[in-house]
Amino acid sequence: KHDVLTTIVVFGASGDLAKKKTYPALFHLFQQGLLPKRTRIIGYARTQMDRDKFVDRVTSFFKTDLSNADVQQFLALCAYVSGKYDKDEDFQRLRGEIDANEMQMGKSDEQERVHIYYLALPPSVFVSVGEQIRNNVYDASCTNRVVIEKPFGHDLQSSRLLSKAIGSLFAEDEIYRIDHYLGKEMVKNILALRFANVFYEAVWNRHYIANVQITFKEPFGTEGRGGYFDEFGIIRDVMQNHLLQVLSIVAMHPPKSLRSEDIRDRKTEVLRRILPIQLEDTLLGQYVGTRDGTKLGYKDDDTVPKDSITPTFAQCVLHVDNERWRGVPWVMKAGKALDEAKMTIRIQFKDMPNAVFPNLARNELVIQVSPKESVYIKTIVKEPGLSTNLAMSELDLSYHKRYQDVKIPDAYATLILDVLNGDHSNFVRSDELDEAWRIFTPLLHQIDSDQVVPLPYEYGSRGPKGVDEFATERAGYKLSSR
Ligand code: BG6
């Protein structure tokens, strides 16, 4: 694989995603020696920029001294082409640039070549750029891979239209739909935990698990991104994609093998068994400013309409209707402007049957995806010392303690490495995407048609009134002291 002649075209090279994620990830891979020896990276965007400005942009999120030799060597691989997103001549120029770079790298007929088209672009131009690539750049004599990122539509119907348009341009195995949560260390770890250890799979079902809580909390609001956010809301922004992807990996049956299609088959299969979410099983919120006025509310953001009823917080119960999970509530919770930054998967086990010890708290397995990666099992022990009481403790695997020397890579670095390797395991297949929208679309449409007004919650709080009761009353979550 290291000898493949590789061209990566980053569309939207002057934008935020490219600057914050794509280029830093490419640089990280370069530093680790993980880019193929012969690679060129061509940025493409509308903005006219000279070399210096381009370099300033793409290096602005590098966490290293820019005068370092490796930065300079990396930049030597990078070129920039400016052009419109719908103009034949511009894409022909891009093709010329790709060809010239390949010649320089020693292109020959026998040489295996890959073109990666990374669309770090707003969805409004996905299709036109796809068409331009197909008509003016696509090279059938090499392997082509197209990387796209959400939003993939805003409901089932629009997502299907987009899939159809993209599907008419590229084959499914050429398409890599990014959900960056699938590149996170602890999300990738779920497969290993579940299927490489004897003691999890044995209890991974409705007989032992009481409920599962998948929680995403951010301590900041939409600051500046309100224009984008208001069209989508928290359900489309993180639940329908990131949290549901995580749920599908926690809930899926063991795959036949680690081949990407086997994994994606199992994920799709479990998504098919999830019932559409009901409005009655949902709690919606929108943040308001703090009383002391230091933090502004969602609607105080200039980019948000003053009468917006877009939820910035949502909590809902899902049901997976299969043998393994029937009767187990899955609670998803996601919110902006809450009291902390945290993403966890909390699996609460049932009460200990026939207890020798009465009134026990429940065991829980917690996978903390961020900020500090960890897995811990809340376990009851005898209180140490002369006491005979019981105490809740943790079997705790904290990565920052156990793996001090390992730098956990950004999700984008691992995902781009997967694209380089042609591995689809951590990307969303079109049928998975379709199922994800099927689960959420009736709810989203009902929220729109009923004009459901979200409950207010203060910036920096735990969410709207009733958030904790929701988990205990609706999902049977039992509080237990840590
Ligand atoms: C993005 C959402 O997909 O994920 C953002 O659009 C959200 O609203 C972000 O902040 C969270 O990602 P991470 O990696 O910071 O947890």
In short, whether 435's Cβ falls inside 6 Å of ligand 1 is: no
pLDDT tens-digit profile of 13-50? Answer: 999 999 999 999 999 999 999 999 999 999 999 999 99
Overall average pLDDT of the 314-330 stretch: 97
Q: Select from 218, 313, 373 the residue to mutate for testing ligand 1; criterion: most ligand atoms less than 8 Å from CB.
A: 218
**Which residue's CA is the closest to the ligand 1 atom numbered 15?**
218
Predicted pLDDT of residue 482 = 41
Task: Note whether ipTM > 0.85 here.
Answer: yes
Predicted pLDDT of residue 351 = 93
Predicted pLDDT of residue 66 = 87
Predicted pLDDT of residue 3 = 85
Overall average pLDDT of the 313-322 stretch: 97
**Which residue's CA is the closest to the ligand 1 atom numbered 2?**
237
Set 115, 154, 180, 242: catalytic member: 242
Overall average pLDDT of the 158-169 stretch: 96
Give this prediction's pTM. Answer: 0.96
3-state secondary structure the chain: CCCCEEEEEEECCCCHHHHHHHHHHHHHHHHCCCCCCCEEEEEEECCCCCHHHHHHHHHCCCCCCCCCHHHHHHHCCEEEEECCCCCHHHHHHHHHHHHHHHHHCCCCCCCCEEEEEEECCCHHHHHHHHHHHHHHHCCCCCEEEEEEECCCCCCHHHHHHHHHHHHHHCCHHHEEEECHHHHCHHHHHHHHHHHHCHHHHCCCCCCCEEEEEEEEECCCCCCCCHHHHHHHHHHHHHHHHHHHHHHHHHHCCCCCCCCHHHHHHHHHHHHHCECCCCHHHEEEEEEECCCCCCCCCHHHCCCCCCCCCCCCEEEEEEEECCCCCCCCEEEEEEECCECCCEEEEEEEECCCCCCCCCCCCCCEEEEEEECCCEEEEEEEEECCCCCCCEEEEEEEEEHHHHCCCCCCCCHHHHHHHHHHHCCCCCCCCHHHHHHHHHHHHHHHHHHHHCCCCCEEEECCECCCCCHHHHHHHHHCCCCCCC
In short, whether 410's Cβ falls inside 6 Å of ligand 1 is: no
How much of the chain exceeds pLDDT 70, in percent?
Answer: 99
In short, whether 416's Cβ falls inside 6 Å of ligand 1 is: no
In short, whether 238's Cβ falls inside 6 Å of ligand 1 is: yes
Cα 238 to averaged position of ligand 1 atoms, centre (Å): 7
Summary mean pLDDT of the chain:
95
pLDDT tens-digit profile of 123-156? Answer: 899 999 999 999 999 999 999 999 999 999 999 9
Cα 218 to averaged position of ligand 1 atoms, centre (Å): 9
Q: With a cut of 60, say whether residue 481 has pLDDT above it.
A: no
Cα 340 to averaged position of ligand 1 atoms, centre (Å): 14
Predicted pLDDT of residue 1 = 62
Predicted pLDDT of residue 220 = 96
Cα 42 to averaged position of ligand 1 atoms, centre (Å): 26
The yes-or-no answer on residue 242 being catalytic is: yes
In short, whether 269's Cβ falls inside 6 Å of ligand 1 is: no
pLDDT tens-digit profile of 399-428? Answer: 999 999 998 999 999 999 999 999 999 999
The pLDDT-based confidence of 479 (bands split at 50, 70, 90) is: confident
Of 215-229, 259-273, 284-298, 305-319, the range with the lowest mean pLDDT is 215-229
Cα 28 to averaged position of ligand 1 atoms, centre (Å): 20
**Which residue's CA is the closest to the ligand 1 atom numbered 6?**
237
Q: Ligand 1: which atom is nearest the Cα of residue 181?
A: 14
Predicted pLDDT of residue 248 = 98
Predicted pLDDT of residue 11 = 98
In short, whether 237's Cβ falls inside 6 Å of ligand 1 is: yes
Predicted pLDDT of residue 374 = 97
In this predicted model, which residue has the larger pLDDT, 251 or 65?
251
**Which residue's CA is the closest to the ligand 1 atom numbered 10?**
218
Cα 20 to averaged position of ligand 1 atoms, centre (Å): 12
